[in-house]
Homo-oligomer: A and B are copies of this chain.
Amino acid sequence: MDVPTWSHRHLLDVDGLSRDELDTVMTLAERMSRARAMRKPLDLLHGRQLTTLFYEASTRTRVSFEVAARALGAEVVTVGVSFSSVTKGESLVDTVRTLEALGTDVLVLRHSRSGAPYLAARHATGSVVNAGDGWHAHPTQALLDLFTLRMRLPGGSLVGRRIVIVGDLLRSRVARSNVWTLTAAGARVVLCAPRALLGGFEAWAAALPADRHLHVTDDLAEALEGADAVMALRIQRERDAGSALPSVAEYVAGFGLSTARLQAAKPEVLVMHPGPVNEGVEVTTEVASAAGSLILEQVANGVPVRMAVLALLAGRS
């Protein structure tokens, strides 16, 4: 398989990707998806070693990267917190250098501290892929969300589409990365959350160039009006200390997605969620399992999208 040229060594966030680069990822991911469906063997990462270094527990993201890497012929090394010298207090920088000395070419890092992958990248000689850092960014999630929307929106374009992101925006790396890719793809993005969480996003919306459309509201009914797609964010109960969020019951009352509420959106509205879903909280079970729900497609698309990212990084000029 022929891989287009790529100029970035790392994937730390999506804010630095141009529209052309996003298109490159999307087009390559489509080809990866087809190759995978045809069980066509690929060896673009043959002889390369990819290590997943996860300081936070994860099933879907870790497995997705590992499946993607193996599908390209890479050797995969798994380092989880419970296995690692992290318990000995080894620093992130030392761990990065150690793993590279052991042969790692691509390091996939998840960390609870925002910015940790940037620190890792500064000391790495190979590539670093951010698999989620604190509240900051989750670039491959944003790319797979973009891919999923392109696949499912009629015409395959996001231009002018109204896409709502609703939930605990403040602590959401998924939302932050999606704002970049969705607005870059021409969508009209609406962020919706309790007012107390919206401050920074209003400033962000105001600062964007005129060709990027970002709107902020604390009124879900207004947000959903005519929406083409709605992305519900996970309530991170496990990161809940000192939260500005209301109680779960209040959250559901104000921001939970139900079939009734989705009446305000377009009839064919698409529903997304980065998972794991708290059914009955962010979305009702009915919404999660409705025809327009793309939740499992997002998971499935994660593999070819990550294959595309890994192939681009491995073949960079």
Contact = CB atoms under 8 A, between A and B. Distances in A.
Interface of A: 39, 47, 49, 51, 54, 57-60, 62-64, 66-67, 70, 75, 77-80, 82-91, 94-95, 97-99, 101-103, 237-238, 275-279, 296-297, 299-300, 302-303
Given A63-B79, A75-B70, A79-B59, A296 B84 contact: no
Copies of chain A in the complex: 3
A101 B296 contact: yes
Given A102-B299, A102-B300, A57 B75 contact: no
Contacts of A47: 39
Given A89-B237, A94-B277, 13 more contacts: A57-B84, A58-B84, A58-B85, A59-B86, A59-B99, A63-B79, A67-B75, A80-B82, A82-B83, A90-B276, A91-B279, A94-B275, A98-B276
A95 B89 CA distance: 29
Contacts of A299: 97-98, 101-102
Contacts of A300: 101-102
A296 B97 contact: yes
Given A75-B70, A296-B97, A102 B60 contact: yes
Given A39-B47, A58-B85, A62-B83, A276 B94 contact: yes
A276 B85 contact: yes
6 contacts: A59-B86, A60-B98, A62-B83, A88-B238, A94-B279, A102-B300
A100 B13 CA distance: 28
Contact of A67 (B70, B77, B88): B77
A238 B47 CA distance: 37
